[in-house]
Structure 1
Amino acid sequence: MEPPPLAESLARIEALVVERGLDGEELLDPAALATRTALPQETVRALLAGEEPPRDTVNDRVRARIRTLAAARLASSNRRMADLAAEMHTRFGVSQMWARQVCDGKKMPNVELLHELVGFFGVAGEAFFTLPADEALDQVLRKIIARFENDPLQALMDQYGVRSTDLRTHGSPSRRQLERLLEGVFHSMTTDEEGERRAGP
């Protein structure tokens, strides 16, 4: 029997941690993953520990994730729920009372509004709101895996023994600084090669 997708993704991340010297605690930080999935931290911790996802309905998931996203937006913008409801009223034509109840997780949005909330909250499709917790977490983990498996810069860092953990030590360059450095190296190499071709034998 094949392992569940989430278990497979966790195994792949563990392998990447060993192969590339990555920071496993950072990659699997429950708080960061909870933010990216709009799941409760306790649910993320349980899933990372191999426990079963919580029993819920699609409506439960939608209401809970909208409530989480709304709370995060308010916290980051220092606004009130009334302001968010007014913004939704202006953009979508729903009443402010209805918008507030949706953002509070007390009302289930209709299909049309759910579609609009995808862009409003900047999430990846309606499935973000409806997927079971384990599938939602697995989607995020697969993006993390793809970033490291398909990242040429990461591969180059591995080739020359530069580890992600090295970039966070005192006095080490940031990832962006390293990117600029490598861009300069690549540009220099390309220029030299072009000069050699022009000189010719």
Structure 2
Amino acid sequence: MEQPLAETLRRLKAHSGEQDLNSRQLAAETAMPEDVVETLLRGEEPPATTVEERVCARIAALRSAHLDTTGKKPSDLVSEVHAALDISKEWVRKLLNGQKVPNVALLHGLADFFKVEGGEAFFTAPPADALNRVLEGRLAKYETPAPDPVQALMERYGVVATDLRSHGALTPEQLETLLAGVIKSVMPTEGEPPR
């Protein structure tokens, strides 16, 4: 169950201070204006918007970001979306410029095309929910960190305990040599297919 944005912010600040709260980066990840993100980060409510306004604005923001990162011309993007969604280029142009509201099927296609997390909800979620989705992902990195790969290997092969990394059993150089040997043993050699 999703927690409120205020709780996510409180917990995230407790773990990382302000380092995960770059409003420009969060605006890019949510396809929302930076001033809306800043308002939410201060704990205030941004101006009300309709679902249609949010959808159009976020599609236009994704279009701009995609063009900036890929260096493509707008006409190239229109052609790609036209081919992916099988709709007229004129409709695609208006859609990408935020002038038309897509139906659910097109919204699903746009979510797939732009590879956004959250599917259609990425476009339709209220601003607080959209920001919360991104921040909860960051919070999860602190509260449910990735398992230790060495520990995972030990569990996989039934090793109950080892002393490889403590009490001087192996020097850091010896551990590095050991791990490098393991990695090299499973890496394909030139011309050999990967395992």
Please indicate the TM-score interval, normalised by the length of the shorter structure: 0.7 to 0.9
Partner of 1:92: 85
Q: 1:151 aligns with which of 131, 145, 165?
A: 145
Please show how residues 25-174 of structure 1 align to structure 2 within 5 Å: 25-124=18-117, 125-152=119-146
**Post-superposition offset of 1:152:** 4.1
Identity %: 43
CA positional deviation for 1:83: 1.1
Deviation, 1:153, is: 6.5
Per-residue CA distance 1:49-82 (angstroms, 9 max, x = gap): 1111320111111000000001100111111211
User: Which structure 1 residue ranges, 4+ long, deviate > 4 Å from structure 2?
Assistant: none
Q: Which moved more, 1:101-110 or 1:84-93?
A: 84-93
Q: Distance in 2 between matches of 1:94 and 1:36?
A: 27
Count of residue pairs the alignment pairs up: 152
Instruction: Give RMSD over aligned pairs.
Output: 2.2
Distance in 2, matches of 1:152 and 1:60, equals 38
Structure 1: gaps of 5 or more residues? 18-23, 155-180, 192-201
How far apart, CA to CA, are the structure 2 residues paired with 1:41 and 1:66? Answer: 15
Tell me, which stretches of 5 or more residues in structure 2 are unaligned? 149-171, 183-195
TM, length-normalised to structure 2: 0.72
Query: Is contact 1:53-1:132 (8 Å) kept?
Result: no
Encode CA deviations 1:167-194: one digit per residue, 9 max, x unaligned.
xxxxxxxxxxxxxx8xx56x66xx9xxx
Distance 2:33 2:89 in 1: 27
Which protein has greater RCO, CA pairs closer than 8 Å, 6+ apart? 1
Q: Contact 1:66–1:103 (CA<8 Å) still a contact in 2?
A: yes
| Structure in which a larger fraction of residues adopt helix | 1
| Residue-by-residue CA offset, 1:98-142 (whole Å, 9 max, x unaligned) | 101000000011111111111101112110000000010011111
Matched, 1:6 2:15: no
